[in-house]
Amino acid sequence: MTIKRLAKWVLASVAAVALVACGTDESAEQASASSQFETVNWKMVTTWPKNFPGLGTGAEKLAKNITEMSGGRINVKVYAAGELVPPLEVFDAVSRGTAELGHGAAYYWKGKAPAAQFFTAVPFGLTAQEINAWIYHGGGLALWEEVYQPFNLIPLAVGNTGVQMGGWFNKEINSMADFQGLKMRIPGLGGEVLKKVGGTPVNLPGGEIFTALQTGTIDATEFVGPYNDLAFGLHKAAKYYYYPGWHEPGSAMELIINKDAFAKLPADLQLIVRSAARQANTDMLDEFTALNNDALNTLINEHKVQLRPLPNDVLAALRSASEETLKEVAASDALSQKVYDSFVQFRDKVSAWHAVSENAYVEARGAK
């Protein structure tokens, strides 16, 4: 189904629901008002470099879909990191109405609201499938909205990278001693864990990572996974590539919407924005799942990257440090505790189910 046909279907569905719920006369009035709605021009600011695979292109696809699904009544223009506002000022720009939409990751805003970090990735936490289940069916979205309410923002999930890689290092990681004094680009809760085990976390937007690693400003970095890391050329600045991404087992991307701008839209256009976001959320994970292994093969076979697993005792120590860190962050304020409690309860529940479903099947299938 093309986007234009999908737009017609969505509009027809909204009209049909309105007819049943409100009665013919009232629905006709609403339909007339919607058809007369003046076209709005919205700006979407992002934390990503222009046309960056998966993340930057994901923002572009989302903007295009909103525009086409709305029949052009919402015209969305995308501004890459630094084009309108610096990448780490997206949150403030949308909050104050400089832009109506922002595309990024919630853990960048931990300085605004510590609880925001739980809605991107939690070390040894939920996978992409699990975090979507928590957001959509486990109460996560309502909590996310509560965290952003003081900032005049509405959050929506718009993608996930899946399990990430452990990062790029210029030295081998053989024990926890190798983390002492390590300067690593690693945002969010993963950065707090690194600090606990003796490292120094550095929060950098994607566009600044390569130069920082190449010049020695940082000793190591994580970003996403092979698909994105190859595009950034990180293999040119470090040779050891470690897995698994203990710090980001399922990294959710977010769309933040200025609440005042959203409230001015008629109901059908609000539904279109939400529907486009839900579609984008699925599409990004599909893209990363389809392309990561090909990129990894290129890194190993063509660029001679040394792929290494993190030692089991290192993972065990990081897991222990992560549990301590999460409890400390949760205890920092009441809302963080509320989000943490919901997250942990859902993680425990879904882990029990996956022990006899997903995990058991993957183990039975085996690796080829």
Query: Rounded mean pLDDT of the chain?
Result: 92
Q: Residue 197 is part of a domain; what is its CATH number?
A: 3.40.190.10
- Strand 183-185 with 220-221, pairing: parallel
Give the torsion sign (CA, 48, 203, 336, 252): positive
User: Are 205 and 275 in the same domain?
Assistant: no
**Per-residue model confidence (pLDDT) at position 6:** 47
Q: Total structural domains in the chain?
A: 2
Residue 13 lies in a domain: no
Q: Return the CA Rg of the chain.
A: 21
- Strand 167-169 with 153-160, pairing: unpaired
Residue 193 lies in a domain: yes
User: Are 238 and 266 in the same domain?
Assistant: no
Give the torsion sign (CA, 46, 52, 58, 63): positive
- Inter-residue contact 195 to 159 (CB < 8 Å): no
Residue 206 lies in a domain: yes
User: Are 259 and 347 in the same domain?
Assistant: no
Residue 25 lies in a domain: no
Which range marks the domain in which residue 312 is found?
167-246+303-360
User: Are 138 and 191 in the same domain?
Assistant: no
User: Are 48 and 135 in the same domain?
Assistant: yes
Residue 16 lies in a domain: no
Residue 30 lies in a domain: no
Q: What is the DSSP letter of 249?
A: S
Last residue of a domain, one of 289, 318, 347: 289
User: Are 130 and 269 in the same domain?
Assistant: yes
Look at the block and give the residue holding tokens 């301590």.
Answer: 324
Residue 15 lies in a domain: no
User: Are 108 and 225 in the same domain?
Assistant: no
**Per-residue model confidence (pLDDT) at position 206:** 87
Angle at 258 between CA 158 and CA 80, to 5 degrees: 60
User: Are 219 and 94 in the same domain?
Assistant: no
Residues of the chain with pLDDT under 50: 6-24, 26-28, 30-33
Which of 260-281 are b and which e, b meaning 16 or more Cβ less than 10 Å from the residue's Cβ? ebbeebbebbbbbbebbbebbb
User: Are 54 and 107 in the same domain?
Assistant: yes
- Inter-residue contact 77 to 20 (CB < 8 Å): no
User: Are 308 and 237 in the same domain?
Assistant: yes
User: Are 178 and 276 in the same domain?
Assistant: no
**Per-residue model confidence (pLDDT) at position 17:** 41
Residue 282 lies in a domain: yes
User: Are 85 and 224 in the same domain?
Assistant: no
pTM over 0.75: yes
